[in-house]
Amino acid sequence: MRAFMLSLAMLGIASMPAAAQSIGGTYTVAGTNFDGSKYGGEATITLTSDTTCTIHWETGGSTSDGICMRNDNAFSAGYAMGKEVGLVVYKIEKDGSLHGLWTIAGQNGNGTEVLTPK
């Protein structure tokens, strides 16, 4: 957890104000794994304050849960999927979609993910 908080501080998003557009809701997920294989599913973002939220993914028969934070057009989440811990950083596009890169602690590489509002 300490490393996660340090990562947020290094990204400069730990104390910044949120943008006006709400990000809470349900999204269609389209992503690629480290090896380039594709996956899909659904994600739900639930606001817990003006800048923080929880996120739940259901993708490829797996579920994962995380804590998330927004700063202007940047959105990040730390998550747990089983025993694995990961981080995803998205850019919020003008159409409300989120385009991001994700990784898992201790593994090389990254995957991609797009969340599109339903």
What is the C-alpha separation between 113 and 27, in angstroms, rounded?
11
Round to whole Å and give the CA distance between 100 and 23: 15
The yes-or-no verdict on residue 111 having pLDDT over 90 is yes
Tens-digit pLDDT profile for residues 50-87: 889 999 999 988 999 999 999 999 999 999 988 999 99
CA distances, 111 to each of 2, 4, 16, 107 (Å): 23, 18, 26, 11
Rounded Cα distance, 29 and 44, in Å: 10
Q: How far apart are CA 29 and CA 3, in angstroms?
A: 27
pTM: 0.81
pLDDT at 50: 84
pLDDT at 11: 46
Which residue has tokens 């899909």? 40
Tens of pLDDT, residue by residue over 8-26, are 444 444 434 434 468 999 9
